[in-house]
Amino acid sequence: MLDQSGSPTAEALHAPVLRWYDANARVLPWREPDAGAWAVMVSEFMLQQTPVSRVLPAYEAWLERWPKPVDLAVEPPGEAVRAWDRLGYPRRALRLHAAAQAIVERHGGDVPDDHAALLALPGVGTYTAAAIASFAFGQRHAVVDTNVRRVLARALTGVAQPTISPTAADQRLAVSALPADEPTAARWAVASMELGALVCTARTPRCGDCPIRSRCAWVLAGSPPYDGPPRRGQTYEGTDRQARGRLLAVLRAASGAVPKKTLDASWPDATQRDRALDGLVADGLVEPLGRNRYRLPS
DNA sequence: GATTCGTGGCA
DNA sequence: TTGCCAAGAAT
């Protein structure tokens, strides 16, 4: 089943991918039938740019401590930052805390099932709103993350793409590839994402295990490598990000206020260190106290 | 559209 | 060893 351009139609991919998912899906706690929308939401925040293996322990501890949005909402934001541990991008912890408060204030403490209401929450963008609506509430949305983007690009357009955030064109392609009926669309969303995570991977795709290899435009084209401009590799060593991480690690480990002198010991360059600390304060991740002391925000 | 924002595992 | 990559959002 091919369209005018010689690429397979999306409909031809649905059944084999859904069958593959039924047989190969990972068992993950946020996918359990009784997980609930809050569990899905917590997992989605944590999984933004952080691998599943590192999310699992933090996720379990988080839901044990804060089983409902209101449980988190009544805590100081600094507790969320502390519990975030080393997942990275700690502003996500702050946003999840703010989102929990918004859920209590605007939605009676229950994660909303409306896509627009989800999108209005702090830290919830196009992807996360669609993911919660689809995974937790079974709705029909294009859930376009880096996995889905890669799967559709290869299978339907036949090109390898660099790992960047999905574009408007990727979004349109995903919408056009969505099954018509709601429950099938919801299963397709999680199944196509799982295929990207386990088989159609970025570095070394396991095409031998792929349920749609016989229809994949990229495979049929000889698996051509990405030929566009090279991506700028993000260095980490010596950056402000690393400095911020060091400072925040000291504050997470402390129970209360920390003297600036203690923070100073965590990064050698004074100019960069102070810039990083100012940035953390500006982001609301650190609260300045009197007498040159700092702590996680209360 | 391009940047900024953590952290760690792995080929 | 080092660059790439991991369920993005906000600006």
Q: For chain A, what is the domain count? A: 2
Domain end position, chosen among A135, A166, A183: A135
Structural domain including A269 reads 240-295
Domain end position, chosen among A89, A116, A135: A135
Q: Which nucleotides on strand B sit less than 7 A from a protein beta carbon?
A: 1, 3-9, 11
DSSP code, position A49: T
**Whole-number average pLDDT of chain A:** 95
Residues contacting nucleic strand C by the 7 Å CB criterion are: A 28, 30-31, 43-44, 47-52, 88-89, 95, 122-129, 131, 145-147, 150, 162-163, 165, 193-194, 196-197, 201-203, 230-231, 233-235
- Residue A50: inside a domain: yes
Q: How far is CA A64 from the centre of its chain?
A: 21
Which of A32, A44, A64, A194 is flagged as catalytic?
A44
- State yes or no: is A60 an active-site residue: no
Domain end position, chosen among A101, A135, A169: A135
Quick: pLDDT tens for A253-273: 999 999 999 999 999 999 999
Q: What is the dihedral of CA A62, A36, A129, A43, to 10 degrees?
A: 30
The CA–C1' separation of A286 and C8, in angstroms, is 23
Please state, in angstroms and rounded to a whole number, the distance separating the CA atoms of residues A290 and A120.
Answer: 35
Q: How far is CA A122 from the centre of its chain?
A: 14
Quick: pLDDT tens for A159-185: 998 888 899 999 999 999 999 999 999
- Cβ of A275 < 7 Å from strand B? no
The CA–C1' separation of A9 and B3, in angstroms, is 36
For helices A270-282 and A240-253, angle between their N-to-C axes, nearest 10 degrees = 70
Please state, in angstroms and rounded to a whole number, the distance separating the CA atoms of residues A252 and A239.
Answer: 20
The CA–C1' separation of A49 and C7, in angstroms, is 7
- Residue A98: inside a domain: yes
- Residue A90: inside a domain: yes
CATH assignment at residue A51: 1.10.340.30
Please state, in angstroms and rounded to a whole number, the distance separating the CA atoms of residues A101 and A190.
Answer: 28
Q: What is the dihedral of CA A131, A134, A140, A142, to 10 degrees?
A: 20
CATH assignment at residue A254: 1.10.10.10
The first and second tokens of residue A206, run together, are 């396991």
- Contact status, residue A111 vs residue A69, Cβ threshold 8 Å: yes
